[in-house]
Amino acid sequence: MTRLLMGSAMALAVLAVPVQAQEFPKTPPAPGPLTPAAFPPFQETTLPNGLKILVVESHKQPVVSISLSFPAGAAYEPAGKEGLADMVASLLTKGAGDRTAEQIAATVEGAGGSLSASGGNDFLRVSATTLTPKLDLAFELLADVVMRPTFPESEIELLRTQTLSSLQVELSQPESIASRAFFKAIYGDHPYGRQATPTSVRSITRQDLVTFHGTRIAPSGSLLVLAGDINLDQARRLAIRAFRGWLGTPPTVRRPTIPNRESTELLLVHRPGSVQSNILVGNLTYGPTDERQYAATVANRILGGGTDSRLFLILREEKSWTYGAYSSLARRMDRGYFIATAEVRTEVTDSALKELLVQVNRIRSEPVSAEELEAARGALVGSYPLSTETADQVAGAVATSRLYGLPEDYVQTYRVKLGAVAAEDLRAAAESTIRPERSVMVVVGDGAKIYDGIKDIAPIRIVNAEGEPLTPADLAPKTEALDFDPALVVARRDSFAIMVQGNALGHLTSSVERTATGVRYIESTRLGGFVEQDSEILMSPDLTVQSVKQTGTVQGQATSIVVTFADGRAKGEATTPTPEGMKTVTIDTTIAEGVIDDNLIQALLPALAWGPEAKWTFTTFSSSSGETTSLTLAVSATESVTTPSGTTEAYRAELTGAPQVSSFWVSVAAPHRLLKIAIAGTPIEMVRITP
């Protein structure tokens, strides 16, 4: 107790002493000089078969990350086999040695590690992470997947189906259409300008996969990087044992020369019905070892490298034209590129493109302020350590630098060189790297609405989403009344399962009834408790719409459409969901002769004159918005479609002009039956379940 009292007394005495006023610094101390990153020394060796090994030794954690890279990217694919390198990479872990895909996955998971393979433009990389005690197993699996993949037919066809499904979504997305057009325009016939298509993916055979693997996945010219709890002697011993008997050198491939562009071109990709425009502006730069990359990286950071960059702050924050605008630089083995992008509302496409060009020219012609320069350098220098924190990040960074032939101390000195970029270096690099006078401008959007505003910005070329040339007159195609035979709209009942990523989550049923006064079409949709919708459309005997009635709920909110048609007018009211929430619209508008209600498209499909090259352009009326839209339905292929009732030859047709592209599969044989519906950009498919 005495000690406690004494302690309390001393504390009170201290508190009783007056505190002197203290002076605190008003500005932070100056930063210390940048020094090279503290990586362990790199240790290297080359095996007799030509495999290069590089070890970054660190014993802080019992983990090793492995990166094994080959000159086997998409740039080495034969013409017409685009997608081959990615398929080879994906299949390496889907059966190798004596293990199936499931056994490989179970073995990796049981060891607490990871194993994957991926393709790129220049390189194919196999990556693994393992605990130190499991290094032997990791090397065993690594050797199996690169030396002894089995390429099972079942896995090939599963991957092909998945790839085609992904491509269907990709080719419907405006940002993907824009990037494909951009790369084709700047790289021409060089492999960098080619992209996988459904046709190329379907053409790839098992022998193509085996041949590509046999010629490109070889030890000579490949690079094995190990980072973490391992030394060079261990790595060499494990590699010699795992890769024994592995020999080979990939053949030298002479790729076409990348064309030099001497002028600017504006490529308008017409996508009818788009509610926004995707803008890409870019140009070729230089090879991966060019010293201008450091200063150009800082210039790009100021222009569009983050949410505090000029493009973002001006086009989004100041103008409210877009959710985001960015720019970037990319390395490629032959020649890289610069690109600036923005997605904007259709009505501001011309203004946004012009402002983007103003900012691109400004970074080249005007000195940047000291504040901007310091902020950009600080952001890049400060974020770099976050990209080399883990063993797998270190392995990836080191592998990339060596594969591109960068200096041996690149990863160590990267921050120092960025921090040393001066204003005059930045401007000189920007002027020679960002070349609007030799750029390609790609705009994907509704050409009918944006052509007049952008046509004078640069020499313009117009194509559709497939790259086929168009003229200005094609942007507003003349529509006709949909040519169909009313007699073929017979009484019937159809049922479809609604599939989401292969799982049945709902159903759609429809029926056509002949009545004393005309035709009655009924449709009912149920999707996973989120959507419930019932529609009734009454038509005259010649299938002229008399009324549309639709009721339901979307995520618990009531929807309804009640519209009547008489004397060339549509009148009624619609309450439907929009991106901004539920919206009620009063309908009272003139309907031209031959315009059909968009709810009837599915009902009328069997009554069309189908053929391998059939195409219809027609006008529809939306009862939900009161607007008319020009749509095109065109057969793109003849395919086999499997449904619960069997496999049937079908015409595949794309419906374009609406915000979302839809695909319909209709049986080739009469009477034509709708077999499947897919909504591009979504995982939703509707598959017929009635005979």
**Which whole number is the average pLDDT over 262-291?**
94
- CA 582 from chain centre, in angstroms, equals 30
Q: DSSP states of 354-392 as a string? A: HHHHHHHHHHHHSPPPHHHHHHHHHHHHHHGGGGGSSHH
Higher confidence at residue 511 or residue 10? Answer: 511
Please determine, for residue 3, whether its predicted confidence score (pLDDT) is greater than 70. no
| Shared domain check, 550 and 439 | no
- Reported as a pLDDT band with limits 50, 70 and 90, residue 30 is low
| Shared domain check, 466 and 493 | no
Residues 81 and 199: beta-carbon distance below 8 Å = no
Q: How would you label 474-512 residue by residue, b for 16+ Cβ within 10 Å and e otherwise?
A: ebeeebeebebeeeebeeeebbbbbbeeeeeebebebeb
Residues 588 and 571: beta-carbon distance below 8 Å = yes
- CA 93 from chain centre, in angstroms, equals 23
**Nearest Cα to Cα of residue 434 among 321, 302, 527, 532:** 302
| Shared domain check, 454 and 491 | no
- The four Cα atoms 368, 370, 372, 376 give a dihedral, to 10 degrees, of 110
CATH of the domain at 153: 3.30.830.10
**Nearest Cα to Cα of residue 631 among 667, 671, 598, 678:** 598
Secondary structure letter of residue 657 according to DSSP:
S
Task: Among 475, 501, 527, give the residue marking a domain's end.
Answer: 475
Average the pLDDT over each of 205-214, 536-545, 579-588 and give the range with the smallest value. Answer: 579-588
Cα–Cα distance for residue pair 53/74, rounded to 1 Å:
24
Cα–Cα distance for residue pair 621/574, rounded to 1 Å:
13
Write out the residue range of the structural domain in which residue 630 sits. Answer: 486-688
- Reported as a pLDDT band with limits 50, 70 and 90, residue 579 is low
| Shared domain check, 428 and 352 | yes
- Reported as a pLDDT band with limits 50, 70 and 90, residue 21 is low
Residue 106 in domain: yes
Residue 247 in domain: no
Q: What is the mean pLDDT of the chain?
A: 91
- Per-residue pLDDT tens over the stretch 312-365: 999 999 999 999 999 999 999 999 999 999 999 999 999 999 999 999 999 999
Cα–Cα distance for residue pair 394/225, rounded to 1 Å:
9
Higher confidence at residue 298 or residue 392? Answer: 298
**H or E element: which one contains 506?**
strand 503-514
| Shared domain check, 358 and 297 | yes
**Nearest Cα to Cα of residue 653 among 604, 610, 688:** 610
Please determine, for residue 147, whether its predicted confidence score (pLDDT) is greater than 50. yes
- CA 169 from chain centre, in angstroms, equals 9
| Shared domain check, 452 and 414 | yes
Give pLDDT, residue 332: 96
Give pLDDT, residue 4: 36
Q: How many domains are contained in the chain?
A: 3
Give pLDDT, residue 151: 98
Cα–Cα distance for residue pair 306/215, rounded to 1 Å:
41
Task: Among 416, 445, 475, give the residue marking a domain's end.
Answer: 475
Cα–Cα distance for residue pair 480/194, rounded to 1 Å:
37
Q: How would you label 83-108 residue by residue, b for 16+ Cβ within 10 Å and e otherwise?
A: bbbbbbbbbbbbbbbebbbeebeebb
**Which whole number is the average pLDDT over 381-386?**
88
Residues 548 and 598: beta-carbon distance below 8 Å = no
Give pLDDT, residue 31: 65
Cα–Cα distance for residue pair 240/247, rounded to 1 Å:
12
Please determine, for residue 6, whether its predicted confidence score (pLDDT) is greater than 70. no
| Shared domain check, 312 and 281 | yes
Residue 258 in domain: no
SS3 267: strand
| Shared domain check, 352 and 387 | yes
Give pLDDT, residue 173: 85
- Per-residue pLDDT tens over the stretch 167-208: 877 887 889 999 999 999 999 999 999 999 999 999 999 999
Percent of the chain having pLDDT more than 70? Answer: 94
- Per-residue pLDDT tens over the stretch 387-397: 888 888 999 99
Higher confidence at residue 59 or residue 24? Answer: 59
Residues 441 and 264: beta-carbon distance below 8 Å = yes
Please determine, for residue 680, whether its predicted confidence score (pLDDT) is greater than 80. no
Please determine, for residue 28, whether its predicted confidence score (pLDDT) is greater than 80. no
| Shared domain check, 282 and 219 | no
**Which whole number is the average pLDDT over 503-532?**
92
Give pLDDT, residue 600: 87
Please determine, for residue 252, whether its predicted confidence score (pLDDT) is greater than 50. yes
Structure tokens at 578: 């929009």
Structure tokens at 472: 């200005």
Cα–Cα distance for residue pair 67/55, rounded to 1 Å:
11
Q: How would you label 10-30 residue by residue, b for 16+ Cβ within 10 Å and e otherwise?
A: eeeeeeeeeeeeeeeeeeeee
CB-CB neighbours of 554 under 10 Å: 15
CB-CB neighbours of 242 under 10 Å: 18
| Shared domain check, 661 and 681 | yes
| Shared domain check, 451 and 305 | yes
- Reported as a pLDDT band with limits 50, 70 and 90, residue 32 is low
**Which whole number is the average pLDDT over 23-46?**
76
* Furthest-apart CA atoms within the chain: distance in Å: 109
Give pLDDT, residue 17: 43
- Reported as a pLDDT band with limits 50, 70 and 90, residue 165 is confident
Residue 4 in domain: no
Q: What type of residue is 575?
A: T
Higher confidence at residue 485 or residue 14? Answer: 485
| Shared domain check, 224 and 123 | yes
Residue 5 in domain: no
Residue 15 in domain: no
Residue 448 in domain: yes
